[in-house]
Amino acid sequence: RGAWVHPDIGCLRLAERRRAFPRALRSAGALDIAAVCAFLT
């Protein structure tokens, strides 16, 4: 499984707000997206 998001900071923030990454990746808790955010900015 995986998660795909447009290379846009707005899409990343929306996915984070909707808790899409933990759901898509079947993670028990929140995921740290700091590295992805740094890459996009």
pTM beyond 0.75: the answer is no
Mapping DSSP onto H, E and C, the string for 1-41 reads CCCCCCCCHHHHHHHHHCCHHHHHCCCCCCCCCHHHHHHHC
**Average pLDDT along the chain, 41 residues, taken 10 residues at a time:** 80 90 86 89 87
Type of residue numbered 36: V
Contact 12, 33 (CB under 8 A): yes
Contact 30, 22 (CB under 8 A): yes
| Sequence-separated (6 or more) residues with CB below 8 Å from residue 1 | 24, 25, 26
